[in-house]
Amino acid sequence: MKVRCVGLLLLAACDPAVEPGGGVGETGGAPDTGDSDPVDSDSAPETGRDTSGGGDTAETGDTGHTGGGDTADTGETADSGDTADSGDTGAAPGPAILLYIGDGMGFEHVAGGGMYATGSAGSLVMETLPMQGRLRTASLSGVTDSAAAGTALATGNKTYNERLGVDRDLASVENLIERAQAAGYAVGVVTTDRLVGATPSAFLVHEEDRGDYAAVASAWTTNLPDISLGGGTNDFSALFSSMSAQLVSTRGDLFAAVNDGRPLFGTFAGNTFPFVVEGYSADQPTLEEMAQYAIDYLDDTAAGFLLVVEGARIDHASHAMDEDSVYDEVLSFDDAVSAGVSWASTTPRDVTMVVTADHECGGLSITGASAAGVIPTSTWRWGEHTNADVPVYASGTLTSTFDGQRLDHLWVHAVLAASIDQASTVTSPTEPTLVDGYTSDLGAQVATQPWSTSFGAGYNQLDGLYLVSDADGLRVGVDGVFERGDNAVLVLIDLDYGGATGLGADLALADSLDVLDVALSTTSLSVSVPGVGFDAAFGALGAEEIGLVQLSEQVGLRGFDGDIGAPDDLSWLAAINNFDDGNIAEGAAAADAGATGLTENGMETLLPWTSLFPLGLPAGGTTVAVSVVLVNYGGDWGSNQALPGLASSTEPGADPIEIVQVATLSVDGSGVATGAAALSP
**pLDDT at res. 644:** 98
How large is the average pLDDT for residues 468-493? 96
Identify whether residues 465 and 347 lie together within a single domain. no
Burial per residue of 617-633, b for 16 or more beta-carbon CB atoms within 10 angstroms, e otherwise: beeebbbbbbbbbbbbb
> What was the pLDDT predicted at 90?
60
- Is 61 part of a structural domain of the chain? no
Crossing angle between the packed helical segments 287-299 and 323-344, to the nearest 10 degrees: 20
The string of pLDDT tens digits covering residues 65-83 is 433 333 333 333 333 333 3
Sequence-separated (6 or more) residues with CB below 8 Å from residue 71: 58, 59, 60, 62, 64
Among 285-294, 353-362, 400-409, 584-593, where is mean pLDDT lowest?
584-593
Can you give the residue range of the structural domain that contains 649? 439-680
Check pLDDT > 60 for residue 496: yes
pLDDT, average across residues 96-101: 98
Predicted pLDDT at 301: 82
* 58 pLDDT above the threshold of 80: no
Mean pLDDT computed over 451-470 = 92
What pLDDT shows up at residue 597? Answer: 80
**Whether residue 292 sits in one domain with residue 149:** yes
Query: What is the arithmetic mean of pLDDT over 481-488?
Result: 94
| Residue 26 predicted with pLDDT over 60 | no
* 360 and 469 assigned to the same domain: no
Give mean pLDDT, residues 593-600. 86
Q: Model pTM?
A: 0.87
Instruction: Give 122 or 27, the one with higher predicted confidence.
Output: 122
pLDDT value of position 506: 84
Higher pLDDT, 620 or 33: 620
Q: Looking at the domain assignment, is residue 31 inside a domain?
A: no
In a domain, 22, yes or no: no
| Parallel, antiparallel or unpaired: strands 390-395 and 638-643 | unpaired
Question: From start to end of 94-210, where are the E strands?
Answer: 96-102, 131-136, 186-194
Q: Is the pLDDT of residue 46 over 50?
A: no
Question: What pLDDT score was predicted for residue 12?
Answer: 29
Q: What's the pLDDT score for residue 380?
A: 97
Task: Report whether 679 contacts 632 (CB < 8 A).
Answer: no
Say if residue 644 is preceded by a cis peptide, omega within 30 of 0. yes
pLDDT at residue 41, rounded to an integer = 33
- Is residue 339 assigned to a domain? yes
Which conformational region is residue 616 in: left (phi greater than 0), alpha (psi within -120 to 50 degrees), or beta? left
Q: Please report which helix (H) or strand (E) contains residue 465, including its range.
A: strand 461-469
If you average pLDDT over residues 385-405, what whole number do you get? 97
pLDDT at residue 68, rounded to an integer: 33
Q: Are strands 264-267 and 246-248 parallel, antiparallel or unpaired?
A: parallel
Q: Is residue 634 part of a domain?
A: yes
Q: Quick one: average pLDDT of 522-531? A: 95
* 544 and 621 part of one domain: yes
Give whole-number Cα distances, 273 to 43, 244, 280, 348, in Å.
16, 25, 8, 33
Cβ neighbors of 651 (< 8 A, separation 6 or more) are 454, 455, 638, 639, 640
The rounded percent of the chain whose pLDDT value lies above 90 is 82
CATH number, residue 222 = 3.40.720.10
- Both 171 and 197 in a single domain? yes
- When the pLDDT of each residue in the chain is averaged and rounded to a whole number, the result is 88
Same domain, 258 and 332: yes
Count of structural domains within the chain: 2
Instruction: Please state, in angstroms and rounded to a whole number, the distance separating the CA atoms of residues 590 and 602.
Output: 10
How far apart, in whole angstroms, are the C-alpha atoms of residue 598 and residue 616? 38
Calculate mean pLDDT across residues 249-271.
Answer: 96
- DSSP one-letter string for 307-368: EEEEETHHHHHHHTT-HHHHHHHHHHHHHHHHHHHHHHTT-SS-EEEEEE-S-EES--EEEE
Strands 377-379 and 406-408: unpaired
pLDDT value of position 39: 31
Last residue of a domain, one of 387, 421, 455: 421
Is 64 within the bounds of a domain? no
Query: Does 105 have pLDDT greater than 60?
Result: yes
Asked if 125 and 253 sit in the same domain, the reply is yes
Residues 6+ away with beta carbon under 8 Å from 346? none
Whether 391 and 453 map to the same domain: the answer is no
Give the pLDDT confidence of 572-590 residue by residue, as tens digits: 999 999 999 999 998 888 9
Instruction: Detail the DSSP E strand segments found in 185-314.
Output: 186-194, 227-231, 246-248, 264-267, 305-311
Q: Is residue 196's pLDDT more than 60?
A: yes
Cα-based angle 478, 484, 485 (whole degrees, multiple of 5): 120
In contact, 69 and 55? CB cutoff 8 Å: yes
Whole-number Å distance between alpha carbons of 294 and 459:
49
Average pLDDT (259-272) is: 96
> Is there a single domain that holds both residue 473 and residue 511?
yes
Tell me the C-alpha distance between 518 and 511, whole Å.
6
* Residue of 220, 218, 322, 235 lying closest to 271 (CA atoms): 235
The answer to whether position 54 is within a domain reads: no
Same domain flag for 350 and 201? yes
The number of beta carbons lying within 10 Å of the beta carbon of residue 635 is 23
Per-residue pLDDT at 671: 98
Instruction: Specify whether 242 is located in the same domain as 181.
Output: yes
Mean pLDDT within 451-476 = 93
pLDDT over threshold 60, residue 368: yes
* Co-location of 494 and 406 in the same domain: no
Last residue of a domain, one of 421, 451, 472: 421
Residue 458, pLDDT score: 82
Sign of CA dihedral 514, 515, 518, 520: negative
Determine, yes or no, domain membership for 434: no
Could you write out the DSSP letters of every residue in 382-435?
-SSEE---EEEEEESGGGGGGTT-EEETHHHHHHHHHHHHT-SS-PPPP----S
Q: How far apart are CA 540 and CA 387, in angstroms?
A: 15
Looking from the CA of 79 toward its CB, the CA atoms found within 13 Å total: 8
Indicate if the pLDDT at residue 130 is higher than 90.
yes
